[in-house]
Amino acid sequence: MTKSYLIVVAGMAWAAMVGLTPAHAQWLGQSERSLTQCVPADDLMRRGQINRDPSLPLSIRAADLNATPDQPIEAHTDVVVVRGDQQLNTESMVYDPTTGLLTLPGVLVYTDAFIAIEAQRAEVNLDQSTGSFETVDYRINGAQGSGHARTVELINERQAELSVFDFTTCDPTQPDWQLLADDVVLDLDKSVGTAKGARLKFKGIPLFYLPYFTFPLSDERKSGFLYPRFGLSSSDGLDLSIPWYWNIAPNMDATLTPRWIQDRGVMLGNEFRFLKRNQSGEVSLDALIGDDKTKDDRYFAQVDYRLRPARNWAFNARLRRVSDAQYFLDLGGGLDATAIQYMRSSAALRGRGQYWSMRVGTDFFQVLDDRIAPRNEPYRRLPRVLLDIDRPLSERVRFEMDNELVYFHRDQGTRGARVDLWPRLTASHSAPAGFVRAQAGVRTTRYALDNASVESASRTTPIVALDGGLVFERLAGQGQVQTLEPRLYYLYVPTKNQDALPIFDTSALTFGFTQLFHTNRFSGADRQSGANQVTWALTSRWLDAASGRSRADINVGQVIYFQDRTVRLPGQPIDATNRSDLIAEANWSLARSIALKAGLQWDPEARALSVAYTRLAYRGDGGLQGALSYRYRDDVLDQVDARVRIPLTGQLNLIGRSVYSLKDNDSLELLAGIEYESCCWAVRLTAREYIRDREITKQTAVFFELHLKGLGSLGRQPYPLF
């Protein structure tokens, strides 16, 4: 049981495991959800613990053992050789001590913690660490991988050559796919394997042929090609990418991705990554020189950098730039990317202590929507300093302070600096039956403006809030506890005329349930809403008495105004209503596999629905999945979204999605596909029609993915249906 035999074990195992890639099969984990196996779990040999201590004894047992001095040692009938986790079984073994030649003339079976091998015959020189094995079959313990090699030649203790090699995770008697190679050379000193005449077959059909490639023999990364990705669309034709991975150093790598788009030309993508003790980063650049359609050079560049200069301090930077506003529309993928109006770049240094946190940073935007005028572009914040303090003064009293210093710059419009300070005291008391919380502070905002009619402006407003709630409980039967939680929140902020203050980064907050308990109706510091109002809210929960898990909850709330809201953004009217929209939200776990979420906003003045949404989701044990959603916003949105995955058999699924706009009376997206999954491979074919831009231009595309379990995926990443 020599090291030379182990080279076969390690070599064939790694060759089988890594195939054509350096452990970069991004979708490999999807095969874990398969309920089927080519080899029953009970028939798989369990993976054990490796035990290769050189001091372990070598045990040889046989029914007939002949050890004559100066003669070869012969063992016959039920020969078993054991050392550690390694075991060799055969019917005949001859060892010549003078030459070091070990001859195994018949069938032999070798097993260890990782692999099981059967060969028809073998001959090994233990002194020279050379030898040969004929007609070798192997199986990886604890996994589906198995294969065959016609011959294995041991060149020395660290090198071996295999001829007519193959690997599969399918049933070895009827493999649907196989990785084959004419010749494989294994070099453990370099941790590299080399294959010649490699090809990948699926259902007997050759998919790829590589006359020469290398692969790693350890868990270290290895330079080489990754799996290709391809798709087909009505606008651009065939889209093919073949990534190549470059292992530059243990802490540094890169991926080069040539991409051919039939109607646009050749594109090159590059991603560079590095990792050090206190810093890391990624740099990527995708470039298409001379787009055949637009005749322009197209690119997208991105830099991500992270640094920890000291304990409790971190620096992060993310810089992004794109060649033109249509890049994501043409080359970037789905509707989510094409809907981006601004692309943000930022850099910030963050630190924190026991009672404080600080952020010093900057951010700026690239406008991707050509309908946005320069005077309406977002400001660059150069720089922005935030300092937050939260210090307990006693068991029930806390001192908090939010501070901001920022300079706003834009080519057109008012520019200048802003300081915003908000110190406050918060006193609170809580008990199982309820809580009460009081807060009082003063918010001061001052400006130093560069190119405005006034050089300075300011606003100072006290803010007082009182919040309290009760919790009632009762047994609701069936092992449930129902709670009833009334809550009142009073807010007072004197109204100040702020029409002279600039608008740098402030907008109206989207009204929702959490907004009922907010001290300001606006984001940013350019506007502080006046308030003399009380919020009432009622929450009821149904809890599992044993686990405390919420089975259902309902939240209802509304704001009662005692004065008009005269603080507003330019162009907005004064809000003189006495009550806010009535907000209701509900979550309900109807059963283990069914969940319902719903919400609405009701305008009591107009007696009309302002906002509504609902989502019903189902996930069955048999693989059936479905979701039905509805979204409505007055004069903006009225959509239905239905998604489903239907198992026809244990291996065949239908998938589909439909997004329909009731407001436009038009389909926004249609998707239909079929999935098939066997014990060792899966295939997914989907067709999709969707809106690709704001001009309601529709595009159709076909996506294909073939997943060979244990090897990787061929095709485009699957559509994220759920």
Please say if the pLDDT value at position 696 is more than 70: no
Tokens representing 338 are: 């094409």
Whether the predicted pLDDT of 614 surpasses 70? yes
From the list 74, 120, 64, 124, the residue with the least C-alpha distance to 99 is 124
Please give the model's pTM, rounded to 2 decimal places: 0.75
- Residue 305 Ramachandran class (φ > 0 left, ψ -120 to 50 alpha, else beta): beta
CA distance 219 to 184: 19
Greater pLDDT, 708 or 580: 580
CA distance readout (Å), 166 to 19, 115, 162, 353: 10, 15, 10, 59
Select from 438, 558, 428 the least CA-distant residue to 486. 558
Vertex 504: Cα angle to 499 and 510 (nearest 5): 85
* pLDDT over 50 (residue 7): no
Mean pLDDT of the region 180-198: 83
Which residue ranges form the domains of the chain, and what is each CATH number? 3-220 (2.60.450.10)
Query: Looking at residue 546, what is its pLDDT?
Result: 84
Name the band, by pLDDT with cuts 50, 70 and 90, for residue 225.
confident
Beta bridge partners of 471: none
Confidence (pLDDT) at 455: 77
Reported as a single tens digit per residue, the pLDDT across 535-587 is 999 999 999 888 888 899 999 999 999 999 999 999 899 999 999 999 999 99
Q: What is the mean pLDDT of residues 64-84?
A: 86
Q: Which of 68-72, 176-180, 386-390 has the highest mean pLDDT?
A: 386-390
Q: Which residue has the higher pLDDT, 255 or 174?
A: 255
Instruction: Measure the CA angle with vertex 260, ends 255 and 263; round to 5°.
Output: 150
For 361-381, what is each residue's pLDDT tens digit? 999 999 888 788 888 899 999
> Phi then psi for 9, rounded to 5 degrees?
-60, -55
